[in-house]
Structure 1
Amino acid sequence: MKSYAFPAALLLSSSVVLADQATTMSPVVVTATRTAETADETLASVTVISREEIERSQATLLPEILRRVPGLSVVNNGGLGQSSSVFLRGTNSDHVLVLIDGIKVGSATLGSFAFQDMPLSQIERIEVVRGPRSSLYGSEAIGGVIQIFTRKGTASGELKPRVSVSVGSHDTYQTDAGLSGGDADGWFNLGLSALNTDGFDVKNDGETDKDGYSNRAVTLRVGREFGDSSEVELHWLRADGETEFDGSFQNESESRQQVLGARISTALTDNWQSSLQLGRSWDESDNFLNGVFSSRFDTERDNVSWQNDIAVGVSNLLTLGLDYQNDEVSSNTDFDVTERDNKGAFAQYQASLGQHDLIASLRSDDNEQFGRHNTGSLAWGYALANDLRLSASYGTAFKAPSFNELYYPGYGNADLGPEESRSLEAGLSGPLGNGRWAVNVYETRIDDLIAYDSSIFGPANIQNARIRGIETVLTQSLGAWLFSGNLTLLEHEDKDTGNELPRRASETLQLDLDRQVGALGLGASVHVEGSRYDNLSNSRKLDGYSTLDLRVSYALATDWSVQARVSNLFDDEYETAADYNEEGRTFFVTLAYQP
């Protein structure tokens, strides 16, 4: 049975996770319900990627670690820094909502987030919620929500520096540095990172060249508590990227991802926690052809969120909130409309009744362009014998078209309407030794799916899609051994044509095995994906592939360590997007200092 107590821990703030992971087997998550609960308690399908797991994986950028998540597939247009798209539970790449420390981010023109520009060195943890969440967050959360939490200081009372230097294949160099600290009343973290790579020829177009990439990032996060009932936090992230690629109209890009946010949380009464969050995010891109300026697309997004969590008795929680979002586009390309806002109001009730857990949520969004849109969800959980848990849920979601889909000259279609979805899910989970297992089955139907219509040479609401899937997840700890694995099977089709949806693999398998022997750490990962079609007509098929990654780490001294990894050991050649090469065998070595 869940219990809710205020104000001691301030756990109900959507951007704060203060629980000590060493004191609980199940991590605390906040994204699934916008309130704090353990991963075992939540009725949603959630994956938590901790800082420890990020470091153990030795991954460099966000897409590398995300492909481990059940039900999630990453499509890359080449190597480091090249455009990356995320497909969650078979939905479109723009059907996933991305938050950074509670602030909504992404491009209003493309309708998606630049995952490839997010350095993992600046991330403390990642929460991936699979399944619709429009009833809490509004547009875009058809496939799910990915929330990124930047690193923060601790209440140790000491300054903690960190620095690492890495070298790898394709003349890749990376440097990370940071300083954090704090005491019982406050904390701070400052992080810096730089990445440069010469890259390789990412596209099969007859042109032989290297497509390089560089990234510079900085994060700052500071916070302070006032007694046991109030807290204030500020956070800022900026990541600048420069990318070379192959193209006839443009072949270089300079991009900037930036988010600035502030949050105050306070206990108004013993049973009422209130938080106000303000934020602005920027997605900026300048594009060039052989060094000559070609185009500029800048998005500025303002977010305001007021959330109130009211404990009703010991085991029930009522959440009421208001959201405001304003998107503004600035470009050298003329868009008929360059600004729109969205006002949202939501309510959620969480109840624990003996062996039963219930969650109901409703939301109403008033979009400046598309009017009012209502969504809702209902979830139920039942505690069986032997700590088994049965769950079921139903939810609706929607996605407003992007500015490119609506207004890009010669392409956009101003008559487009929002995409709408209905999802049904059932799951069973339980403990297994020192780990857990879970099986989830689901079906999502999407109406008015936006796709390219050759008759008008642009996008149209022409598709009705059905996606069915099953996810199996297993984690296990046996002494010094750590094992995790997941298998996803998808059936996805355009109901109007019978064709499979493009760029989704129907089978995905991820296996990770790690072992710590004193100062020595060993690990291996296997990733397998089945074949897929690259286009709507299913005339271009991409073969399936499998990769094996190996890694090793060694503690040279108390504060010093060295890491080495080889990715794609057998140098498998494959594509996740037609004509774009994925990386072959690569090597990476890191020397790190971290007290």
Structure 2
Amino acid sequence: MSHRTRKQIILGLLFLMAVSFPLKAEPGRKEDFQTAVKIAGQVLNAASGEPLIGADVLVAGTNYGASTDTRGAYFIENVPVGIYTIRVQMMGFSEAEKQGVQVIEDGTARVDFKLRPKVIQFGSLIVWGDRMGKTFWENPASVQVISHKEIERSAGQNLGELLKNQPGLYVYDTGGNAGSKTISVRGSHANQVLILVDGVKLNSAQNNLVDLSSIPLGEIDYIEILKNGGSTLYGSDAIGGVINIVTRKNRQSRQKLELQAGSGSFGLRQASGGFLLKWGSVQTRVNFQRRFSLGNFPYRSLFGRRQIRGNNRFRDLNLFFQVTHASILGGKWYFSGQWYRAKRGVPGALRQLTPEAALTDRRGLFQSGWTVLLNRWESLEWTAYFQKFVQDFYSPTPWVFVPISSQYQNEAYGVDIKSRTYFSEKQTLILGGSFRVDQMTGTDRIRPLFSIGRVKRNTTGVFGLFQWELPLPDNPLFQNIFLAPGVRGDWPSDFEATSSPSFGISLNHKGPVRISLKGTWAKTFRAPTFNSLFWVEDVFARGNPNLRPERGVNREAGVEMSGRLWGDWTGSVHFFNNAVKDLIYWRRGYDGKYMPVNVKAANLSGREESVSFKSAGDYLELNWSRMYLLAINHSGERNTEGRILPFRPKHTENFSARVQGGNLFVKITYRRVSKRFTREANTKFIKGYKIIGVSTGINFLFGKLRLQLQGNVHNVMNTTYEILERYPMPGRSYQLQISVKL
């Protein structure tokens, strides 16, 4: 990045901060700049007093609105001065509205609602795309929901940047705009975390990894994060947890057009946008994202010398569309598709540089779903999908002077069916089944004898989950107990059948301070990847066809609390333990080649703590979290028994503060990570690091047009650090972006 470009970006950030301080508006103009949050409140269940999550709160006759968060709270920003009718809607509850709500220039109108439950009539939609459902207080599972509003407020451009500061998560990053980003949940390996889009698995059977930098944020409604074993609902690959990305097909749409453009360090240029079209009961969404980066950035070498990280160029194109129909055969139907193409340089690890290597990714994902209520008490959901992922790697002069040109084609298709039976308001039975085909073709263009060829796996699964809420009328401390037993069976074509039972329980206290005691137990498993089984021996590595599936037992106990004092407070402490048997680990042999082996066992245990505060009026938001992790290797071997598993930090800590006044906002993030060992014997490690980021922006409102200018500074202190060994991360970087919503 040139000195001139850096100077321009710094001046731009200063300009944003300067012009955003109180601006006098001409009297009489409703569209002038307003205090950010104009209408706020809480939506509760009138029968139980519990917060309602995901209710749509709309300003009648306008495009303004919001959805309630995990506390049932909502905040509607930038509403012009005037008198309005506020309407709230939620599935399974009677609609409510309040008239004559007055919005003034320098205040926030508080409007609370209590919705009464009602019997859902035939043809309505319950939930689709997610099996966890939106988080509710009694749920014994450790589920975190990142709302649409939180996504919009983040400074991230993709899923990896959004998740890196979330509690209990750790994003592995190979560095720079071209670096791949994969995720760990509470010390798991990245290939033990299941990534879903509307309930459909993205992980390929080749390596079970998903590059989170390839998933844009524009079409995401909310994200569910299950932090303990999820094999009961999802089958293989959920040993560490599940991240379910739910798109905006259920949302009451308010923006018809969204456009965004940005520029930043290392030659970054990006543009994204989307639009919404409606024809009667048919709704169509289209989104796109285009990014380009020269990518090269300066870093300090192992000897302290300033060098340039080359071959880090990057460009991609992401297209997404979705069509929904409100009434087909008495239910709701959708069809969506994503097409992604990226080309990036692969610089390689330090001391093993690949200055001319290039990687091309092409991915297509198409899925269709239909959800219907069969009668007053039963619903049926059906999803079919097809996806194809093609990856080409080319390196004419790698570090061992053996040229490489390879291609891997992954295809997956299948069907998921799920039914819900409501025996009463407090008893629900969820039954489901799935069939999936994974196949891969690996080709070595230079040495065909080293090609993996075509391999295939068929997997059939069935599951059941019963949710039962029991009242405790004579108990002064807890008002109800929630039970959730479940079981799943899977029959993969290349391994023996396996079962995954689970059980969850929570005790809940309702009052000014709400308390929930939670506990879960679950068995999990993960089938070996195609690379692990079938990699043809070359100068680097060889596969192991004798691998056994990984198997785990996940236990968790915790307490969650929430209340109101000058705003909304929430806090939680969770103790977790994940005992994994036959852990698959790529180990370097005496011949210098890597081969996957089953480690006897590993134990991931620790404590996760979090506290958050959101003030009345949404002027201040604070979030803090910390995780203590012990990832112990129980291999039974002298040099590795009792050692810490590589690349698992013992301590991680996150803090963020967001302040909003008028049309200006400022957000500060802080992340601390302790040292990580890089060898099984714990003989080498990479040091810990602390990273600070700052975002600031200003909002303008012109009638129904909303304009936002935002500037971001990443790694403010210009810290030198690595997340993975010999993959340096960029120093201080800048970004400016402008967005328009109509």
Please give the TM-score of this superposition, normalised by the length of structure 2. 0.74
- Alpha-carbon deviations, 1:167-207, whole Å to 9, x = none? 00111111011101447734221001101111125896988
Q: Which residue does 2:627 correspond to in 1?
A: 488
Deviation at 1:46, TM superposition (A): 1.7
2:657 corresponds, among 513, 526, 538, to 513
8 Å CA contact 1:153–1:180 kept in 2: the answer is no
1:52 corresponds, among 117, 125, 149, to 149
Deviation at 1:435, TM superposition (A): 2.5
1:393 aligns with 2:520: yes
Q: 1:536 and 1:83, CA in 2 relative to 1: closer, same or farther beyond 3 A?
A: farther
C-alpha separation in 2, matches of 1:52 and 1:159? 13
Name which of structure 1's ranges 295-304 and 227-236 shifts more when overlaid on structure 2. Answer: 227-236
C-alpha separation in 1, matches of 2:218 and 2:722? 27
1:431 aligns with 2:562: yes
Q: 1:236 and 1:336, CA in 2 relative to 1: closer, same or farther beyond 3 A?
A: closer
Q: Which residue does 1:341 correspond to in 2?
A: 458
Give the letter aligned to residue 294 of structure 1. S
- Matched ranges for 1:126-141 at <5 A: 126-141=223-238
Q: Which residue does 2:470 correspond to in 1?
A: 353
1:419 aligns with 2:550: yes
Q: Which residue does 1:236 correspond to in 2?
A: 337
Q: 1:283 and 1:114, CA in 2 relative to 1: closer, same or farther beyond 3 A?
A: farther
8 Å CA contact 1:77–1:202 kept in 2: the answer is no
C-alpha separation in 1, matches of 2:55 and 2:385? 21
8 Å CA contact 2:649–2:676 kept in 1: the answer is yes
- Alpha-carbon deviations, 1:106-146, whole Å to 9, x = none? 22211211212222234332211100010110000011001
C-alpha separation in 1, matches of 2:484 and 2:228? 15
Task: State the secondary structure of the residue aligned to 1:576.
Answer: strand
- Matched ranges for 1:495-534 at <5 A: 495-496=634-635, 497-534=641-678
C-alpha separation in 1, matches of 2:154 and 2:160? 12
C-alpha separation in 1, matches of 2:652 and 2:227? 15
C-alpha separation in 1, matches of 2:69 and 2:270? 34
Q: Report the identity percentage.
A: 23
Give the letter aligned to residue 535 of structure 2. Y
8 Å CA contact 2:711–2:734 kept in 1: the answer is yes
2:733 corresponds, among 578, 583, 586, to 586
8 Å CA contact 1:33–1:136 kept in 2: the answer is no
C-alpha separation in 2, matches of 1:471 and 1:460? 30
1:276 aligns with 2:382: yes
C-alpha separation in 1, matches of 2:689 and 2:289? 32
Deviation at 1:45, TM superposition (A): 1.3
Q: Which residue does 1:328 correspond to in 2?
A: 439
Please give the TM-score of this superposition, normalised by the length of structure 1. 0.92
Task: State the secondary structure of the residue aligned to 2:151.
Answer: helix
8 Å CA contact 1:31–1:127 kept in 2: the answer is no
C-alpha separation in 1, matches of 2:528 and 2:133? 31
Q: 1:569 and 1:208, CA in 2 relative to 1: closer, same or farther beyond 3 A?
A: closer
- Alpha-carbon deviations, 1:249-308, whole Å to 9, x = none? 771101123311000111111111001100112222111125997110121111210101
1:467 aligns with 2:467: no
C-alpha separation in 1, matches of 2:129 and 2:71? 15
Q: Which residue does 2:115 correspond to in 1?
A: none
Q: 1:19 and 1:230, CA in 2 relative to 1: closer, same or farther beyond 3 A?
A: farther
C-alpha separation in 1, matches of 2:459 and 2:614? 46
2:501 corresponds, among 353, 376, 381, to 376
8 Å CA contact 1:31–1:129 kept in 2: the answer is no
1:406 aligns with 2:533: yes
- Alpha-carbon deviations, 1:382-439, whole Å to 9, x = none? 0136421101110010000000000010111000010000011101011132121111
1:564 aligns with 2:711: yes
8 Å CA contact 1:95–1:143 kept in 2: the answer is yes
C-alpha separation in 1, matches of 2:534 and 2:134? 41
Task: State the secondary structure of the residue aligned to 1:404.
Answer: helix
Task: State the secondary structure of the residue aligned to 2:295.
Answer: strand
2:487 corresponds, among 343, 359, 362, to 362
Q: 1:301 and 1:509, CA in 2 relative to 1: closer, same or farther beyond 3 A?
A: same
Deviation at 1:549, TM superposition (A): 0.6
C-alpha separation in 1, matches of 2:581 and 2:716? 42
C-alpha separation in 1, matches of 2:163 and 2:560? 22
Q: Which residue does 2:290 correspond to in 1?
A: 194
1:252 aligns with 2:358: yes
Deviation at 1:360, TM superposition (A): 0.8
Deviation at 1:555, TM superposition (A): 1.3
> Structure 1: which 5+ runs fail to align?
4-10
Q: 1:569 and 1:253, CA in 2 relative to 1: closer, same or farther beyond 3 A?
A: same
Q: Which residue does 1:43 correspond to in 2?
A: 140
Deviation at 1:499, TM superposition (A): 1.3
Aligned length in residues:
583
1:540 corresponds, among 677, 684, 690, to 684
8 Å CA contact 2:268–2:292 kept in 1: the answer is yes
C-alpha separation in 1, matches of 2:69 and 2:293? 40
8 Å CA contact 1:440–1:471 kept in 2: the answer is yes
Name which of structure 1's ranges 354-363 and 73-82 shifts more when overlaid on structure 2. Answer: 73-82
C-alpha separation in 2, matches of 1:93 and 1:401? 14
Q: Which residue does 1:8 correspond to in 2?
A: none
- Matched ranges for 1:113-132 at <5 A: 113-132=210-229
8 Å CA contact 1:393–1:424 kept in 2: the answer is yes
8 Å CA contact 2:620–2:658 kept in 1: the answer is yes
8 Å CA contact 1:286–1:293 kept in 2: the answer is no
> Structure 2: which 5+ runs fail to align?
1-43, 46-51, 58-65, 73-89, 91-125, 398-402, 445-450, 472-479, 636-640
C-alpha separation in 2, matches of 1:144 and 1:118? 18
